[in-house]
Amino acid sequence: MPAPPLRIEHLTVRRGDTLALSEVSAVVQPAAVTALVGHNGAGKSTLLDVLAGVRTPTSGGVAGLAGASVAYVPQRSAVPDDLPVTVGDTLAMGAWRRVGAWRRLRRSDRDLVAGTASLLGLTPLLAAPLSSVSGGQRQRALVGQGLVSRADVLLVDEPTAGVDADTRTTVLRALALEAQRGAVVVHATHEPAAVEHADHVLALVAGRVAG
Ligand X SMILES: Nc1ncnc2c1ncn2[C@@H]1O[C@H](COP(=O)(O)OP(=O)(O)OP(=O)(O)O)[C@@H](O)[C@H]1O
Closest to ligand X by CB, 24 vs 148, is 24
Closest to ligand X by CB, 47 vs 147, is 47
Shortest distance in whole angstroms from residue 95 CB to ligand X: 28
Binding of residue 46 to ligand X (CB under 6 A): yes
Candidate ranges 1-9, 37-45, 60-68, 87-95; the one touching ligand X (CB under 6 A): 37-45
To the nearest 10°, the Cα dihedral for 26, 30, 76, 45? 10
For residue 152, the tally of other CB atoms under 10 A from its CB is 22
Shortest distance in whole angstroms from residue 96 CB to ligand X: 26
| Tally of CA atoms within 13 A in the half-sphere of 119 that contains its CB | 22
Strand order in the sheet with 184-188: 70-73, 153-157, 184-188, 32-37, 200-205, 208-209
Binding of residue 38 to ligand X (CB under 6 A): yes
Binding of residue 139 to ligand X (CB under 6 A): no
Given 1, 40, 56, 101, the residue binding ligand X (CB under 6 A): 40
Candidate ranges 1-9, 42-50, 65-73, 194-202; the one touching ligand X (CB under 6 A): 42-50
Site for ligand X in 168-197 (CB under 6 A): none
Written as one string, the DSSP assignment of 92-109 is: HGGGHHHH-TTPPPPHHH
For residue 56, the tally of other CB atoms under 10 A from its CB is 9
Binding of residue 45 to ligand X (CB under 6 A): yes
Which chain residues interact with ligand X by CB under 6 A?
Answer: 15-16, 18, 20, 38, 40-46
